[in-house]
Amino acid sequence: MDAKLSPNEGLNFSGIGLASCLATGLGVAALIFDWMGNRLPLQGMSLTLPLLLGAVSSAVIGYVVIPLLQALKTGQIIREDGPQAHLKKAGTPTMGGIFFIPVAVIIACVCSDFTKEVLAVSALTLSYGFIGWIDDWQILRRKSNKGISPRMKLALQVGFAVVFCLWLMFNQPANITNIALPGVGWVLPLGFLFWPLAGFVLVAESNATNLTDGIDGLAAGTVAIALLALGALVAPTSLGLMVFCAALSGSCLGFLAHNRNPARVFMGDTGSLALGGALAAVALLTNSLVALFILSGIFFVETLSVMAQVSYYKATKGPDGKGKRLFKMAPLHHHLELTGWSELQVVAVFYIIAAILAAICWAIAPF
Query: Could you tell me what percentage of the chain is helix, strand and coil, using 3-state DSSP and rounding each to the nearest 5?
Result: 70, 5, 30
| pLDDT at residue 364 in the model | 82
Is the pTM value of this prediction over 0.85?
yes
Whether 26 and 249 have beta carbons less than 8 Å apart is answered as: yes
| pLDDT at residue 319 in the model | 84
Q: Is 11 helix (H, G, I), strand (E, B) or coil?
A: strand
The percentage of the chain sitting over the pLDDT mark of 70, rounded to a whole number, equals 91
Span between the terminal Cα atoms of the chain, in Å: 35
269 is known to lie in a ligand binding site: yes
Give the pLDDT band (50/70/90) at residue 87: low
Residue 2 pLDDT greater than 50, yes or no:
no
| pLDDT at residue 7 in the model | 35
SS3 string of 297-339?
A: HHHHHHHHHHHHHHHHHHHCCCCCCCCCCCCCCCCHHHHHHHC
Residue 5 pLDDT greater than 60, yes or no:
no
Q: Which residue has the higher pLDDT, 179 or 11?
A: 179
Give the pLDDT band (50/70/90) at residue 74: confident
- Ramachandran class of 217: left when φ > 0, alpha when ψ lies in -120 to 50, beta otherwise: left
Whether 268 and 136 have beta carbons less than 8 Å apart is answered as: yes
Residue 362 pLDDT greater than 90, yes or no:
no
Whole-angstrom distance, CA of residue 284 vs CA of residue 278 = 10
